[in-house]
Structure 1
Amino acid sequence: METRIDEIADGIFRLSTFVPDIAPPAGFTFNQFLVLGDEPLMFHTGLRRMFPLNHAALARIIPAEHLRWIAFGHFEADECGAMNEWLAAAPQATPAHGQTGCLVSLTDFADRAPRILADGEVINLGRGKRLRFIDTPHTPHGWDAGVMFEESTRTLLCGDLFTQLGNDRALTEGDVVGPAIAAEDLFRYSALNPAMGATIRSLAALAPRTLALMHGPSFTGDGATALSALADDYDRRVSGAVRAMTATV
């Protein structure tokens, strides 16, 4: 395995590790995102066993000790498994997440006390970079789920939203909704709930220009339309699940 580096928006770098053995023959990517500024932030830590690869990749951009913030989408091994390895490598970095994630998991798991982020709270990284935390409980999964929105580049750090297979490119202007629907059909990874469509449409209202996917290529273009289409598919799934349940009663 190797970790590839690509700049997907001004000052935002995708660190991507491809694992061909997951869902072959297409394979699967695990992506972290570095947002530069006076106080650089990494979104997702990667799996603990991938830390040496990701650490070496980050060092080609900035020294690890320059990191000041470490954040993630929800408490799961690929999102935050290497949290403590990164905290050891970056002695001045602070973990940051929403209130639910901090109170339920992060205050115990992390070797340093986290910053608890309120819904809509902004971390100012300096040099014009501002990251807004947005609670998205159970969307796509995890009570503590959330995303971050970099305001200057209008980049949405999507976490597991739009998860898809393959490793064809780092940044695409093509369809990311169809592949995400196919991955949902395969993995059934989302926690279907009645609020999913509304939650995703609230992200569409941000009108992102870049969607930074944790699994798959980042997308550049009309992010609002892509999010709205994804919300429509989840509404369809939820309605179908409700119909199936009521038909058995």
Structure 2
Amino acid sequence: MAAIDEIAPDIFRVNVMTDPELDFSTSFFLIRDEAPTLVETGFRRVFDETHRAVSQLIDPATLRYVVVPHFEGDESGALNLFLQRAPHARPVCSPVGTAVNADLADRDPLVVDDDSELDLGTRRLRFLITPYVHTWESMLPWDPTTRTVFCSDVFIGPDSGHATTDADQSDYMIEMYRSVGIFPSRAHLDHALDKIEAVRPRTLACHHGSVKTARISAYLQALRATDVTGVTEWNPMTEAPDARHDH
């Protein structure tokens, strides 16, 4: 069953444990406002479960935006299923994401860039365009009111059954990235970190693992100081870094 937790006022994490043995989970986020918005959708295969979770918070038919940080099964696999249940919802994508992946959405996407702002009612949603972090069309939405950055596959961590953590899990993060090699370019990663740091995040709403509510500078510094770019051989079903479970 999907877990639901409020990580900031009217911002909810919907979480599914992807692999309990690896302590690896996948989350997406609902912003409850006059224009209800999903950031990511989770996998298509667990849509019934996650749709029921969203139904506990809002009527899913009232969704207005479904933000796609990048096109990948865990980020956008259920996109069209949510669109089918929400007649007025619109996908939101980066310029590159729209140009190369628009055909993956059943409804024309809204294109956003660094200067864009979505009016959700009491909140505004803005965007950091971060190419090649970790795919070429990547972007990271953020909420200026709570200074929450929805950081997609940046700042991956363990879950351990905790929706949020104030612990420093950067060692896990670095070991995971060294194993997986999802960042192809040091320059692009640094560019993204500069953008994230500039908005002074208070919360890192991670797509995988617990949401980070403290020690933000430690995570930024760990990624700046360590070579985590490149591609390595890794089998996610048999290998994983040791998780730090202190919370």
TM-score, structure 2 normalization: 0.88
State the percentage of identical aligned residues. Answer: 32
| 1:124 and 2:119 are equivalent in the alignment | yes
Runs of 4+ in 1 over 6 A off after TM superposition: none
State the shift of 1:66 in Å.
1.4
Which runs of no fewer than 5 residues in structure 1 stay unpaired? 242-249
2:214 match: 221
| C-alpha separation in 1, matches of 2:188 and 2:105 | 30
User: 2:130 aligns to what?
Assistant: 136
Structure 2, unpaired ranges of 5+? 233-247
Match of 1:65 in 2: 61
Shift of 1:238: 5.1
Total equivalences in the alignment = 231
Post-superposition Cα deviations, 1:49-83, rounded to whole Å, max 9, x if no partner, equal: 01111000001111101111001221111111111
**Structure 1: distance between partners of 2:177 and 2:76:** 22
Are 2:174 and 2:228, in contact at CA under 8 Å, matched by a contact in 1? no
CA contact (8 A) 1:194 1:238 kept: no
Q: Superposition pairs for residues 152-231 of structure 1, below 5 Å?
A: 152-231=145-224
Which shifted more, 115-124 or 164-173? Answer: 164-173
Letter in 2 for 1:95: P
Contact 2:40–2:69 at 8 Å: present in 1 too?
yes
Answer yes or no: is the 8 Å Cα contact 2:178–2:228 preserved in 1: no
- Alignment correspondent of 2:83: 87
1:222, distance to aligned residue in structure 2 (A)? 4.4
Give the Å deviation of 1:26. 2.6
* Cα distance between partner residues in 1 of 2:37 and 2:58: 11
Whether 1:9 aligns to 2:4 is no
Q: Could you state the TM-score of these two structures normalised by the residue count of structure 1?
A: 0.87
Greater shift in the superposed pair: 179-188 or 148-157: 179-188
On the 8 A contact 1:207/1:222 being kept in 2, the answer is no
CA displacement at 1:37 relative to structure 2: 1.1
Contact 1:192 1:237 in 2 (8 A): no
CA distance in 2 between partners of 1:100 and 1:63 (Å):
31
Alpha-carbon distance between aligned partners in 1 of 2:138 and 2:158, rounded to the nearest angstrom: 21
Aligned to 1:40: 36
Alpha carbons of 1:28 and 1:225: their partners in 2 closer, same or farther (altered >3 Å)?
closer
Is the 1:200–1:228 contact (alpha carbons within 8 Å) kept by the matching residues of 2? no
